[in-house]
Structure 1
Amino acid sequence: MQRLISVVLLVALAFISFTSPSEATVQPKVEGQPKATALPTISAQAAAIFDLTTGEVLAGINAGQKVFPASTTKVLTALLAIELGELTDMVTISKLAEQQEGTALYCRAGEQYSFQDLLYALLVLSANDVAVALAEHVAGSVESFAQLMNDKALALGAKNSHFVNPNGLPDPDHYTTAADMAKIFVAAYQQPLIREITATRVYYIDLPSGERRALVNGNKMLTEYSGTLGGKTGYTSQAGNCLVTAAQSGSLKLGVSVFKAQGKAVWDDARALLDYGFSHWCNLALIHREQVVTAMSARYGTDVLLRSGDELQITRTKGDEELPVTWELSLDKPLQAPLEAGQVVGHVTYFVAGEEVGAVRACVAHAVPRNWYTYWEVGLAIGCIAISWRLIEGRAKRSAARQPAAPKRR
C-alpha cells in the first residue's frame, strides 16, 4: 500500500509541475566589426556627424572643443519655449526685446504676437528680438531663462555647454560643442512642431501694423541637399558660420553640426559630412514594436507569446548587416498566470557581433488566464492523498476486526 501511495503522489506532482516556464536561452556572441575610413576635409573648426534617432555621435572633428554657437542656440530656446509655453498664448514684447541687435522681426515694445508666430520667427527668420520675447514670456527674465537652458542642456547630456542668453549673441560665457549641439538638436527634433518649423522654407506672419511679412528660411540645405529634414543656421563674427541640420536617405536619418566654417563653405562642409555619413553608415532594424520575440510556458497557464514593447533601430558601419545579431531575454520573475495583455515581464537585450547595442521591453502579447485545470490538479493531488488515507485506515480496521478477541480473565 505504501508503494501505491508513493506512485500516486509522484504522478500528481509531475502533473502539477509540467507547466513551469522554461529558462531563456543565452545565445552566443561574436566579436569584431569593421571601422569607417577618415572623415573628409572641411573648412569648419569643429563638426560632428550624429544619429538623429539616438543622438549618438558617430564621428567628429574637434567635436568636444568649445565653440560659440551663434543662432544655433535658438534650437534650445525653441525646445524650452514649447515645453513651458502654450501655443494659444499671446506674447507682449518688452523694451529689452525691442533693443536686440542683429537679425530681427523688428517688434516694438507693447506689441503682441501669437506664441506660434513667434516660434516660426525664431527658427525660420532667426529673430533675436523674438528669442528674448519668448524667454521673458515663459521664464520671466532672460537670466531665469538662461538658467533653465543650462539645466536642460545638462539633463540632455550636453555637459560642456553654457548659455547666458536665448539668441546666441556673443558672450565669452556662451558656448557649446559640436557633440553637445547634436544632443540638443536630437532632443528638439522629438517635438513635432520643431520638425515642422525647421523644415518650413517660407512662413507668412501678420504683423500688428496690418502688414503681412514673408519669413524666409536661411537653411540652404532645404533646397540644395536632397532629403534634408530641417535645421538651424547661425553666424556672428566670433562664431563664424554655424549650422546644425539633418537629412534622411532610405531609413537612415543623420545629422551634422558644423561650427566656425569659412563663409559659404559651411554648406559644402555639411554636404560633405552627410555624403560621408550616408556612404559609411546604415540603419539596422533589430526589432519592431509589437513584434513577437519568443514563446514560453507560464505556470498555471498556457504558452505565452512575448512581444517587444519598443522599436530598436541602430546605426552601424556599412558591412555590419552581415554580422550576427543575438539576443538575451531576462525575466523579472518566473512567468505565472494570470497575465495581462501588454504586461511588462522583463527585457530583451540585443547584441551585434557580441557588442550590446540596446534593449527593449518584453511584454505579454495576449492575456493568459489561470487555467481551470490547475485547480483540478491540486484537487486531484488532495483527492489522491485522501483516498490513500482512507485505504490505509480501512485496511487497519479490517485487520483489527480479523484478530481474535483476547480471553476474559476470571
Structure 2
Amino acid sequence: MKQKFKAALLLGALLGVGLNAPLLAATSKKETEQAKKSQAAAKPAVKSAAKSAPTKKVAAAPAQKSAKLPAAKSGKSVQASSQTAKKPVRRVSMADIDPSRLALYSSSALVIDQSTGQAVLEKHPDTVVPIASISKLMTAMVVLDAKLDLHEVIAIGEDDVDGLKGTRSRLPVGTTMTRETAMLLALMSSENRAAHSLGRHYPGGMPAFVQAMNRKAQALGMVNSRFEEPTGLSSNNVSTAHDLARMVSAAARYPEIRGFSTTAEARVELNGRPTDFHNTNALVRSDNWEIGVSKTGYISEAGRCLVMQARVADKPVVIVLLDSVGKMTRVGDANRIKRWMESASLVSERRPV
C-alpha cells in the first residue's frame, strides 16, 4: 500500500515538472526578448544623449552655477553689480589737476590762458635765464614799429658774421635781399645773419636798435629782461617765462610776425639761386596744432627753448618752454601740455550743470 502511494506521488511530481517546464521556458524566453528590446531601445537614446552632451553642458553651465549659489549670495552679487553701475564718475577740470604731476623736462615752463590772463601751468616762471633766438621776436617788433620799408634791399655784411659762437649761415657775405625776406628768414629759419642785418640797417645803427629793443621790453612790462644784440647769440640776452609770455602776446598782434614765424617752408632766391628754408619748429607742420606765433632758440647757455601762441582745447594760450633737455624735449613738452589741457577740457565739458 505504501509502495503504491509513493509511486503515485512520484508520478504526480514527474507530471508537474513536465507541465511547468514549457511554461517556465516560455516565460524566460519572453523576459529575454523584452530585455533585448529594452537594450535595443536604450542604445539610440544613449547615442543621442552623447551627441547632444556638449551643447547641453554649455547651455546649462550658467544655470547650474547660479543654482548652486545660495539665495543670499546671489542677491548680494546682484546688488553689488547695481551699485557699481550707479557709482558716480569723478569729474575733473584743469583746476583739479596738479600740474606738478605733469612730467615736463624744461627747466622753466609757463602756459597762459589769453582769454582770462591766468596761468594754467607754471614751473619756475620767474627765473632769469638766457633766451637765445627767442630774442628775434623782439627784433621783428622793433623793425615793424619803426615802419621801415619792408621792400628795401639790404645786404649781408662782414659785421653780420657770428664771431661769438662761430655759427654757420646759408647767407654768404654780399647776399642781398629785401628787409621783408630777412625778417622771414630770421623768424622762420632763425637765420642769425639776417637778424643781425636787420639791426644793423636800423636808423642809428646797432646801438640805436639795441636801445629800442630794451625800451620795447620796458613798455611791455618785461621788467626782468635785457637785450644786448638782435640775434640771441649772446647769453646776455636774458628774460623770464613770465616776461616772454608778455612778449609773445604782443608779437601775436603783428600780422607779419604771425605769418613769417609759422611759415613751414619757403624757397628764396638768393644771388640768383633758389634756396629752400624750413621752419625750426616742427610743430608748425603738424595738423594737430593751430599755431599763431612760433619761435625756437638754442645756445649752450640757454638750452633748447620754444615759445608759441596757439589754440589748445579751444582756448588761446601762450606756451613758454625754456632750457629743455634734449633736442626734441621742447616739442615733447609742448605735446604733453596739449594732451593734458585737452583731456582736462573734455572731462570738464562732461560735468553736469
Shorter-chain TM-score: what band?
Answer: 0.5 to 0.7
Shift of residue 169 of structure 1? 0.7
Contact 1:70 1:234 in 2 (8 A): yes
Shift of residue 276 of structure 1? 2.6
Change (3 A) 1:193 1:56: farther
For residues 122 and 313 of structure 2, the distance between their equivalents in structure 1, rounded to whole angstroms, comes to: 23
Unaligned runs of 5+ in 1: 1-32, 283-316, 324-410
For residues 269 and 247 of structure 1, the distance between their equivalents in structure 2, rounded to whole angstroms, comes to: 14
Match of 2:248 in 1: 185
Change (3 A) 1:130 1:249: same
Contact 1:188 1:194 in 2 (8 A): yes
Match of 2:170 in 1: 105
Match of 1:38 in 2: 98
Match of 1:234 in 2: 297
- Aligned pair partner of 1:154 in 214, 218, 229: 218
Larger radius of gyration: 2
Change (3 A) 1:108 1:267: same
Change (3 A) 1:281 1:87: farther
For residues 240 and 186 of structure 1, the distance between their equivalents in structure 2, rounded to whole angstroms, comes to: 22
Structure 1 runs (4+) deviating above 3 angstroms are 33-36, 52-58, 98-101, 277-282
For residues 241 and 202 of structure 2, the distance between their equivalents in structure 1, rounded to whole angstroms, comes to: 27
For residues 206 and 55 of structure 1, the distance between their equivalents in structure 2, rounded to whole angstroms, comes to: 42
- Aligned pair partner of 1:257 in 320, 328, 331: 320
The answer to whether the aligner puts 1:122 opposite 2:186 as a matched pair is yes
Where does 1:357-372 land on structure 2 (aligned, <5 Å)? none
The answer to whether the aligner puts 1:220 opposite 2:282 as a matched pair is yes
Shift of residue 34 of structure 1? 8.7
Equivalent position amino acid for 2:267 in 1: Y
Match of 1:47 in 2: 109
Shift of residue 106 of structure 1? 2.1
Identical counterparts, % of pairs: 25
- TM normalised by structure 1 equals 0.57
Shift of residue 274 of structure 1? 2.6
Q: Per-residue CA shift, 1:301-328, capped at 9, x if unaligned? A: xxxxxxxxxxxxxxxx957x999xxxxx
For residues 202 and 121 of structure 2, the distance between their equivalents in structure 1, rounded to whole angstroms, comes to: 36
For residues 247 and 56 of structure 1, the distance between their equivalents in structure 2, rounded to whole angstroms, comes to: 15
Match of 1:312 in 2: none
Change (3 A) 1:95 1:272: same
For residues 313 and 104 of structure 2, the distance between their equivalents in structure 1, rounded to whole angstroms, comes to: 25
Match of 1:169 in 2: 233
Shift of residue 226 of structure 1? 0.9
Shift of residue 259 of structure 1? 0.6
Secondary structure of 1:45's aligned partner: strand
- Aligned pair partner of 2:340 in 251, 273, 276: 276
Equivalent position amino acid for 1:102 in 2: T
- Aligned pair partner of 2:259 in 196, 199, 208: 196
Contact 2:112 2:317 in 1 (8 A): yes
Shift of residue 199 of structure 1? 1.6
Contact 1:98 1:106 in 2 (8 A): no
Structure number with higher strand proportion = 1
Match of 1:140 in 2: 204
For residues 157 and 117 of structure 2, the distance between their equivalents in structure 1, rounded to whole angstroms, comes to: 36
Change (3 A) 1:37 1:67: same
For residues 127 and 186 of structure 1, the distance between their equivalents in structure 2, rounded to whole angstroms, comes to: 22
Match of 1:364 in 2: none
Shift of residue 80 of structure 1? 1.3
For residues 34 and 270 of structure 1, the distance between their equivalents in structure 2, rounded to whole angstroms, comes to: 16
Shift of residue 36 of structure 1? 4.2
Contact 2:312 2:341 in 1 (8 A): no
Q: CA RMSD in A?
A: 2.7
Shift of residue 140 of structure 1? 3.1
Q: How many residues align?
A: 254
Contact 1:90 1:113 in 2 (8 A): yes
- TM normalised by structure 2 equals 0.65
Shift of residue 166 of structure 1? 0.6
Contact 1:57 1:179 in 2 (8 A): no
Contact 2:189 2:279 in 1 (8 A): yes
Shift of residue 281 of structure 1? 6.1
Structure number with higher helix proportion = 2
Contact 1:182 1:257 in 2 (8 A): yes
Q: Per-residue CA shift, 1:188-228, capped at 9, x if unaligned? A: 111111111122110111112x1111110010112346123
Shift of residue 54 of structure 1? 6.7
Contact 1:204 1:215 in 2 (8 A): yes
Shift of residue 94 of structure 1? 3.0
Match of 2:133 in 1: 71
Equivalent position amino acid for 1:137 in 2: H
